[in-house]
Chains A and B, each alone.
Chain A
């Protein structure tokens, strides 16, 4: 569904993405992990065409995303730090996106009601707490039944209850044969959700493995332990 071929990106002298080659298909639930500043968010933003790679091509459903924008109607994106126009109310933001996406399609309002957003529609985005902003981001990402979900640190900043609701939602969506891409530092959270792991370091993809293979190869029971074992082996 998403194929990335030889993508390179420099920010000044910094080599953020170094010859990235990846292929993700429908039904996969992929964890994108790696230390801070390893290029995860840049990679995600390249897929969304928010960051434009220096070299390489990215295919979405076998079509080059360069100069295209229609493909984004199939992506639900939840940014790491949701930035919204400060003087718009929650209701206005949701309405704006609804008008952009067209009012014909039915929307997914599960999260909307579970997070009780109907009570804060009048609040301005600028007055919201970080966690509430994340909730709004999550609702927007899931609202239009996208075939691909890209979640950048989805649970960071959410309270335990909200984060549990989100996890449940991700699992429901996973059953609908969607492609889900998650970045997270909380490896323990990913265990129940993901089926594959992509590990990045200093702009390079170190490995892209199925969770099962990873666990068998390292002989560990959880993703967190498997990853730390691999890292220790590399260091030693």
Chain B
């Protein structure tokens, strides 16, 4: 197992895109905290940047990387290596590189400038988000043999979660503003990992006070211990399920 992860890690390092991503993220994080006067404001800005950039880079790079690994996969398959092991190692290698890059880039400024609990929460959710979008990349790459189509699916999924989903929520909010829809809204937010991560972090920044009654409901639900546990479980499912489905397809795939 470890040997294949090692090959994948060496290959990703040689690629240098991950390093560029880490440098970019580090620049963003440092400049955000240096420009904003209060750490809360800085954190809010950084949160929005991270929620946009982290999923995009992880899903795009991973999808392309998986397609480019088809030769490597074929080479491994003619050797005495288990199929599951190849796929899991690729996943582990990609997830690990993104987590390390994120922690190194955003971790240091966050721990220096933000409150400890806020920093830890944003670091943990960022790591989970990276893994989630790597997993989504695996699913979209296995669903189509055509590279352009696979990358297209990956971008569409990112677009949906990063932009369209918010629009959809706003639309629903306005349409049903006469009804008590706070509780369904909580449920709805669980169907997008990006929004779930956003709410979890916003509640720690005390910006929820500005969200009125809905914010209070959210605080009631997500701010409590059990609510946190449920939300983190949902986030983990977002990483586990897409990868599990991709693994099931990969085990039966003809190469």
Contact = CB atoms under 8 A, between A and B. Distances in A.
A83 B3 contact: no
Contact of B77 (A50, A86, A87): A50
B254 interface: yes
A73 B68 CA distance: 25
Nearest to B79: A100
Interface stretch (B29-37, B80-88, B235-243): B80-88
Interface string B45-81: 0000000000000000000000011111011111111
A75 B255 CA distance: 18
B72 A99 contact: no
A193 to B, nearest CB: 22
Contacts of B80: 69-73, 100-101
B7 to A, nearest CB: 6
Contact of B74 (A71, A83, A93): A83
B248 interface: no
A96 interface: yes
Nearest to A93: B75
Contacts of B253: 52
B11 interface: yes
Given A85-B11, A87-B14, A99-B3, A48 B71 contact: no
Given A69-B80, A100-B3, A84 B75 contact: yes
A103 B69 CA distance: 25
Interface in B1-45: 3-4, 7, 11, 14
Interface in B184-228: none
A45 to B, nearest CB: 8
Nearest to B85: A69
A88 B70 CA distance: 14
A101 B83 CA distance: 16
Given A51-B255, A85-B72, A72 B79 contact: yes
Q: Is the interface of B mostly helix, strand, loop or mixed?
A: helix
A27 interface: no
A84 B70 CA distance: 9
A70 B254 CA distance: 19
Interface residues of B, number: 24
Contacts of B3: 99-100
Nearest to B7: A96
Report the contact-size class of chain A (Cβ under 8 Å from the partner): 20 to 34
A131 interface: no
B17 to A, nearest CB: 12
Interface in A35-77: 45, 48-52, 69-73, 75, 77
B77 A48 contact: yes
A51 B254 contact: yes
A77 B7 CA distance: 21
Nearest to B86: A69
Contacts of A93: 75
A230 interface: no
B82 A69 contact: yes
Nearest to A99: B3
B71 A85 contact: yes
Nearest to B6: A99
A126 to B, nearest CB: 10
Contacts of B11: 85, 87-88
B255 to A, nearest CB: 5
Interface of B: 3-4, 7, 11, 14, 68-72, 74-83, 252-255
Interface of A: 11, 45, 48-52, 69-73, 75, 77, 79, 83-88, 93, 96-97, 99-101
11 contacts: A45-B254, A49-B83, A51-B255, A52-B252, A52-B254, A72-B80, A79-B74, A79-B78, A87-B14, A88-B11, A99-B3
